[in-house]
Chain A
Amino acid sequence: MSLLNLIWLLLLASGIVVAAINGNIEVVTEAALGAAKGAVEVCFDLVGVMALWLGIMRIAEKGGLVAALARALRPLMVRLFPSVPPQHPAMGFIILNLSANMLGLGNAATPFGLKAMQELQTLNQGSDEASTAMCTFLALNTSCITLIPATIIGVRLSFGSANPTEIVGPCIFATSIAMLIAVSLDYWFRTYSRWRRLL
């Protein structure tokens, strides 16, 4: 059983127990129902953006653009994803996702990322267990550098910061270290299979 089951249970159960002890159990119902509704809203917000980008990317894919991108970055990609054939379309979508992430184009990044996951899943024999390539991709994705953290710069600006963009350099520094650790740790897990089953 994956660690996720335990984390999920702990979040939910400890929340309810704490609310009960504090005597405000009614917030649990409110939070749970509100979040359930919110989750569906997030997905529906995604529908339009997903449809637009996957539509556009289907054109790019059929024209051979995705494959060309994957070819260009092949030396790096085959090292990061040894289990994915170099010519596989997943490679192109992974690159597109990470590029969009770096540029802070969250709207474009998610559809590319999901398409990359679907392509990786075709190599996974319909399993419901994550493949090593998926884990590597998500390690890169969640620790990816954003060159312009636009939202937080906007917030700083709105509170009258003298230099709203001064945090960009430190962000890139901290994220680079996080990314380095993520990639190394992922490599370690991937290599020492003894640990894979435990987690």
Chain B
Amino acid sequence: MLFTILNVISTWAIPFLLLVIPIYGYLKKVPVYESFVEGAEEGFTTAVKIIPFLVGMMVAISVFRASGAMEYLSQALAPVTALLDAPSEVLPLAIMRPLSGSGVLGMATELMRTYGPDSFIGRLASVMQGTTDTTFFVLTVYFGAVGIKKYRYAIVTGLTADITGFIASIYICNLLFR
């Protein structure tokens, strides 16, 4: 039931905003088309400004993953997952989560293909994928768009949240699905 409601909201939200905002603006005597073009122009420049930041980050992540360095890191961290009572198969996914959205989706898909979506690994992988965000990607894009180069404590906060998310995922899955 809740899911159906949420699904309806997701489907309707964008058409709704596209209808309501211009009508509202028009009623408020905003020059709607000219304002639209003005805002849209800003969209282009913002997207272009992100490029150098994203190139830097994606190259480093891609080299790290393709070289097999990530595999070694997850092997080195295997005792940690054992301690948390989680299968080590999900560890590469946990490491990838903050780095790359498409990478982590590929890994979650691979785990579900191998073990099945209703296996413990499949469920845990699903929850991990659905929990938290690609922290590095978000920080790179958001800070890049305004030319911020010093991220201060934002990385530590984001990564701590990610780690908390994984531990909480493992905890809740052990509780519900074991």
Residues of A within 8 A of B (CB): 2-4, 7-8, 11-12, 14-19, 22, 24, 27-28, 30-32, 34-36, 38-40, 42-44, 46-47, 49-65, 100, 103-105, 107-108, 110-111, 113-114, 117-118, 120-121, 127-130, 134-135, 138-139, 141-144, 146-152, 155-156, 159-168, 170-171, 173-175, 177-179, 181-182, 185-186, 189, 195-196, 199
Contacts and interface: CB of A to CB of B under 8 A. Distances in A.
Contacts of B109: 155
B124 to A, nearest CB: 9
Interface string B54-94: 11111111111111110010000000000000000000000
A114 B117 contact: no
B109 to A, nearest CB: 5
B75 to A, nearest CB: 12
B63 A58 contact: no
Contact of B67 (A31, A36, A178, A199): A31
Given A160-B117, A189-B152, 9 more contacts: A39-B59, A62-B30, A121-B148, A138-B139, A142-B158, A167-B123, A181-B164, A189-B156, A199-B152
B152 A167 contact: no
Interface of B: 3, 6-7, 9-10, 13-14, 17-18, 21-22, 24-25, 27-28, 30, 32, 35-44, 46-48, 50-51, 54-69, 72, 105, 108-109, 112-113, 116-118, 122-123, 126-127, 129-135, 138-139, 141-143, 145-158, 160-162, 164-165, 168-169, 171-173, 176
B60 to A, nearest CB: 4
A55 B39 contact: yes
A179 to B, nearest CB: 7
A26 B109 CA distance: 27
Interface centre among B42, B131, B145, B157 (most CB of A within 10 A): B157
A19 B60 CA distance: 13
A129 B72 contact: no
Contacts of A22: 67-68
Contacts of B42: 54, 58
A94 B131 CA distance: 20
